[in-house]
Chains A and B, each alone.
Chain A
Amino acid sequence: MDQQGLHDIEYRCIQEEQPACQAACPLHVDVRKVMTLVRVGDLAGARKLLDRTLPLPTVLGRVCDHLCQGPCVRGSIDTSLAMGAVERTIINATGAATKPLAMPGKGKRAAVMGGDVSALTVAWDLGKKGYGVDVYVAGEAVGGHLLGLSELLPAGALAAELEIMGRLNVVFRAGQTLNAALLDRLGGEYDAVYVEMLDANFLSVGREAVDAVTLALLGRDGVFCGGFVTPGQPLSVIALAGEGRKAAVSMDRHMAGVSITASREREGACPTRLFTNTQGVIPLPGVVPADPGAGLTPAEAQAEAARCLECQCLECVKSCTYLAKYKGYPKVYARQIYNNLSIVQGARSYNQMINSCTLCGQCEELCPSGFSMPDLIVAARRDMVSRGKMPLWAHEFVLEDMAFSQSAAFRLVRAAPGEASCSHLFFPGCQLGGDPAASVPAVYAHLRAGLAGGVGLGLACCGAPAWWAGRQELAEAAMAAFRADWEALGQPRVIAACASCQATFARLAPEIPVVSLWRVLLDETGLPQVGVSLPSGPVAGVRLPAGPVAVHDACTGRHDVAGLAAVREILGRIGVAVEELPASGRLASCCGFGGLQANANPELAAATLARRVAESPRDFVATCSMCRDRLAGAGKRTYHLLDLLFPGGSDDPAERPDPGFSYRHEARARLKRQMLETVWHEPQPPETPPALPLVIPDVVRQVMEARHILDTDVARTVARAEATGRKFTDTATGRHLAGFATARVTYWALYELIDGAAHIHAAYSHRMNVSGVDRQEG
């Protein structure tokens, strides 16, 4: 990602765009901020803000014709915020005019021809910037249209601001004849000249004579013109001020000798891309002053300001635990990530942030401008991997788990017994394959019985974890290995039980046809024992949920419209009513496993999961084993859809606990053996019972799960200690403690030998190398 790439990404998040009110204000007064301050009663703070933005604030703040009100988002719900009235209340309540901070004198001088609002704005702005300004006024009184607004302006208000301008080095020269000759003279005497065109358009030119962006008079260096009257258009005091400000910016730059055209897009009233969700906003009438003549009292203004929606987007942040956790929004995150990747030396404090996104893609669905955190995050992770900067703590455990699924212990890709090729290949995925209660054998048998052309079996990992981890090459290698098998089998259609596998195939091997298992069960084989043409009803032997269920869609399957529909249709067929979760289908929320969030940031993943669980008190039905197990692990009653189609051993499958990592490993290995024995009739060598059986109490196992320690890690350490005698013994308790370092991790086990079994009291690990601890050879 280079600077330009970063800008393109940042541009897509519109959170920092101006609210409609501010964008419509020619001076871009931060109306939203003003409303926030007034809402909490901080009129002094609001006044400060106006003082910073408005020229002659105690005058303009009272007479502004509030162009901001028209486009106010509230206008389409009830009534626009009455910014004009609120502003008047602020000024009235906060005292007389004060001299603004001015820059030190610059030694350059500007002339202004005209005494109306645009001319006064030019003089005010340039005076503040340290220029000497002489204002040439036709009549005796300065103020132009302001002079006719005496019902809005208390006596003396304008005079007070003009007096302050005097202290800003602005000199008023009244009673002048403004004509071309004077302009010629001033052009020679001053560094820049402003001509206010309003009524005394002695130049007799229109807008076309000036540059639209800079208001520079074409062909006259150093002369700027504004305040043109458009016949038939009402005159706007604040629009005049806007023109004055624009001219002042040009004149300042002209006198400073810098580019007068660079980055001026946002001046004057401009369009905004900000999106504000108004769903659920309760209409509230605008506050009417008790005494219309006096305007809003401070309390009334406060009530009016409380109606402000404080417009902003944050659509993605509102729904995502991860985005909310880091207290910003994607535009800010893009910058932080960019900076993090650019660090050459020192701590990369955003590593955990980069590795905590679930890559679920919900943000992209919600974002009015399609911002994709996954695109940004995957690019960042790949960048870290490619430069050797990805910390091990982020994904190591999952990558080892993936290596196990790719090893001979689980991997098995072949055609049905006695066949060399197949038309279909059932691909349960490593998570369903690791569900000890899963009905993979039954589903496989059902597919074989119901589909013509031969159904093969593919036990393997699709590579999703590597892709999530930013290990592009590893993911592609996994897919290449699968592709080779797939070609040898005659390029069968893949029937995927897991939405993540399906998405990974689509991403890494779009040429491989993939269909979701749910579609096949519904459209092709029929549901077990219900049958496509038979009346609906529960499958024999399956106890259905007592009430309606909520479907927890897998976030990786949000775009599989056909698959999402099939799940609902299947539930309907077997007589299970569905109550949709607020975030379902295309908008599904992740369980916290996606993107390896659970690995890099377990606490955050628990929060992600808890939020999902809180969406409904109903039993959940999940279509992904990992989702189901995580939900169950959080105490949420959750079925796997297959539990409702293929009766398993359990009476109440929604209650079965999360099997945990170790058991999932074992289940995968066992599934392969079982399939080889029962389907291919290949007797398997008996499982060698461990020399020293382990007894692991639940409390210890929970800690091991959290620490990512497998039973096999503990078994290896204990077996080694017992074989060599290299261990410590506590003479007080008789317990043994042994440590053993494998290639990257050192595992420790605290255990007691009882009746030929090792009772585990504690297990822990570290990656640091300690010189006095035994290491595995090689």
Chain B
Amino acid sequence: MNDTPTYLPESGSWLCAACNQPLVAAPVGVTYLQGGFTITLLTCPACGLSLVPEFLAVGKMFEVEQLLEDK
């Protein structure tokens, strides 16, 4: 495991529909303007498709976006 902030969906048992694989928590790169971070998201172990949960998008991500835009 890694120690980056982890954002997993609050409910559900998620599969990657294309690969028919259960998702696993994995580090994912996130970039915006001059900012870059690594976070942990549910990701398809086969194709690498990552799941951004709603609470993350409208919460922390939104906050950080505004912060970076105001820099």
Interface residues of A (CB under 8 A from B): 345-349, 351, 391-393, 707, 724-733, 735-737, 739, 746, 748, 750, 762, 764-774
Contact (Cβ within 8 A) A728 B16: yes
Pick the 10 closest A-B CB pairs, nearest first: A772-B50, A391-B69, A730-B12, A771-B29, A766-B57, A768-B32, A725-B18, A766-B61, A764-B57, A729-B17
B42's nearest neighbour on chain A, judged by CB, is A728
A748-B52 Cα distance, complex, nearest whole Å = 8
Q: What are the residues of chain B within 8 A of A348 when measuring CB–CB?
A: 70-71
Contact (Cβ within 8 A) B15 A768: no
Tell me what chain B mostly uses at the interface: helix, strand, loop, or mixed.
Answer: mixed
Q: What are the residues of chain A within 8 A of B62 when measuring CB–CB?
A: 766
A770-B31 Cα distance, complex, nearest whole Å = 7
- With A348-B70, A707-B58 as given contacts, are A767 and B65 in contact (CB-CB < 8 Å)? yes
Other-chain residue from B13, B31, B61 in contact with A732 (beta carbon distance below 8 A): B13
Q: What are the residues of chain B within 8 A of A726 when measuring CB–CB?
A: 17-18, 47, 49
Contact (Cβ within 8 A) B41 A770: yes
Q: What are the residues of chain A within 8 A of B71 when measuring CB–CB?
A: 345-348
* CB-CB contacts below 8 Å: B17-50 with A: 17-18, 23, 28-32, 41, 43, 47-50
Q: What are the residues of chain B within 8 A of A773 when measuring CB–CB?
A: 49-50, 52
Q: What are the residues of chain A within 8 A of B12 when measuring CB–CB?
A: 730, 732-733, 735
A746-B41 Cα distance, complex, nearest whole Å = 16
Q: What are the residues of chain A within 8 A of B41 when measuring CB–CB?
A: 770, 772
Other-chain residue from A351, A393, A731, A771 in contact with B65 (beta carbon distance below 8 A): A393
Instruction: Give 20 A-B contacts (CB < 8 Å), ordered by A residue.
Output: A347-B67, A348-B70, A351-B69, A391-B66, A725-B18, A726-B18, A727-B18, A728-B14, A728-B49, A730-B14, A732-B11, A765-B57, A766-B58, A766-B61, A766-B62, A768-B64, A770-B29, A770-B50, A771-B29, A772-B48
* Minimum C-beta distance from A770 to chain B (A): 5
A737's nearest neighbour on chain B, judged by CB, is B51
* Minimum C-beta distance from B70 to chain A (A): 5
Q: What are the residues of chain A within 8 A of B23 when measuring CB–CB?
A: 728
Q: What are the residues of chain B within 8 A of A728 when measuring CB–CB?
A: 14-17, 23, 49, 51
Q: What are the residues of chain A within 8 A of B30 when measuring CB–CB?
A: 768-771
Contact (Cβ within 8 A) A768 B48: no
Contact (Cβ within 8 A) A349 B70: yes
* Minimum C-beta distance from A765 to chain B (A): 7
A345-B70 Cα distance, complex, nearest whole Å = 10
A771-B14 Cα distance, complex, nearest whole Å = 19
A760-B70 Cα distance, complex, nearest whole Å = 33
* Minimum C-beta distance from B28 to chain A (A): 5
Known: A729-B14, A771-B50, A773-B50. 6 other contacts (CB 8 A): A348-B70, A726-B47, A728-B49, A729-B15, A732-B11, A773-B52
Other-chain residue from B14, B31, B32, B43 in contact with A737 (beta carbon distance below 8 A): B14
A762's nearest neighbour on chain B, judged by CB, is B54
Contact (Cβ within 8 A) B69 A727: no
Q: What are the residues of chain B within 8 A of A345 when measuring CB–CB?
A: 71
Q: What are the residues of chain B within 8 A of A707 when measuring CB–CB?
A: 58
